[in-house]
Structure 1
Amino acid sequence: MRLALFDAARLGVVAPDGGALVDVTDALPWPHDPDPLTASWWRSLCRDFPSVAPALEQAAAAGPARPIGEVTLRAPALGPSKVLAAACNYGEHVTEMHGVQERTLGRVESWMMDFDVFLKAPSSIVGPGAGIVLPPDVVAAGHEVHHESELVVVIGRGGKDIPAESAMDAVLGFTAGLDITVRSAADRSRRKSYDTFSPLGPWIVTRDEVGDGSGLDILLTSGGEIRQSVNTRDMLVPVPEIVAYASSVMTLLPGDLLFTGAPAGVGPIASGEELEMSIGRIGSMGVHVV
């Protein structure tokens, strides 16, 4: 199933071809609250999706379809307790980061070349069509701001110390995300947590359609130029193991997000650019840089 948030945080089920959706908000067993700070229905949906799915499917089959172009898609996330991100999860990206750090820092931070997870601020989330705002202080200091296109895991029931072999049972599904990053000597979480630095979209595809997230093509273009192109089978640490590792550090709660790592091809973005990101079997979204 493809689950979208649109307009005033309404819930929609998207057609398989991505061209239309049906509003299924009224089929939810909880009151609808569009405020991301208090929208507990969203976290309940992430946790209890298997039991709610039949009602959503029935509503989607019976309701009137609306063309995607007639609605405003929102980020498919409301008030996650945390946004986690994996570092150094593609071998070619690890190699390219040696050159990136030499150019932007004048040295290579060896500890940053190892796989790990870190936090991004939930307030950095924006949706499809949003503008990525380059921070004035960062621009004035001459720091590069880079794009990193990634597969993003949406946590379902979550848990603590989740075994890798059952990790996908804790997952709702997947979406596409950009982990926008300032290249400087500042703390990693700070450099990736500016407002608008986590575009997400266009919707969530549940794990029954995508499996464990392996074998998906990721493509990022700017003005038709290919910036990043990779398949998720090239991850050094696959999704179930990322979920297991992250849950060994902190409890994963329903609705939490987990960026799975940047592929090679990261590079600077500049005001006026239009970025288009797509992931096979999920969908595509565009954002612009301001």
Structure 2
Amino acid sequence: MLLLAALVSVATTIGIVVSLLEPTIRFFGEVSAVEFFTSTSWGPLFEPPGYGVLPLVSATLITTGIAVVVAVPLGLGAAIYLSEYARPRVRQICKPVLEVLAGIPTVVFGFFALSFVTPLLRGILPFEIEIFNALCAGLVVGFMIIPIVASLSEDAMTAVPRALREGSFALGASKMTTSVRVVLPAAFSGIVAAVILAVSRGAGETMIVYIAGGGQPNFTFDLGKAMQTMAAFIAQAGSGDVPIGTVDYNTIFAVGSLLFVMTFAMNYVSARLVRRYREVYE
């Protein structure tokens, strides 16, 4: 029974691959892979159609990059405080409150970004910000994944043996020095796993980027412009009236397969890093 429970996730992953594979093969049977991976024109429903996925990939990488810039410093800072500085009573209160962010529906984050964050950015930034823009979407995705970075990193840091901290204090190190130069390196593998998991979660986010980022597949690096990520396109095309079995319909699976490969690669790199830098204590 335990083996069957463990195999559920494996079977689910295999099912996802199987469901994506056949439509993706049919898509590349009609559309050149060179055009798909190198062209900057994306418009499957336009005339003439464009099947260059680079605008979707660039938008996904840009919003994910902004999210990482927001989530990693704030998440690690929160983890260090909870693990090294907070009193037990404060930690018991702050950690569940922080993790509440992970339970908020992402559609709520999306409307928060559109109705509050975007007007705020338009009022304080010196450059032009459109109503739908990548900067706002990336910032709010970053806030959404902070609990993943903070909670998992704090767990990894808490698992570091107390003896390492006491040895550092005995040598005259301050609490900050001990936290940054002893505890963080000792918990490095767990922190890397937390960051990669958060990045994967951010790359696959749909509703926030769909609502706040807009639905225009622009190949641009202007953060104030509207962009369409891979997940946002899947949500938009999957909810439309695209006939099943057509090339336009199969674009959903082709983009989904590429997103799956990207997140799988990130998780694979994370697993390798965790195994390489994992600290084992007796």
The bucket for the TM-score relative to the shorter chain is: under 0.3
Larger strand percent:
1
Higher Cα Rg, which structure:
2
What's the TM-score once normalised by structure 1's chain length?
0.23
Larger helix percent:
2
What's the TM-score once normalised by structure 2's chain length?
0.23
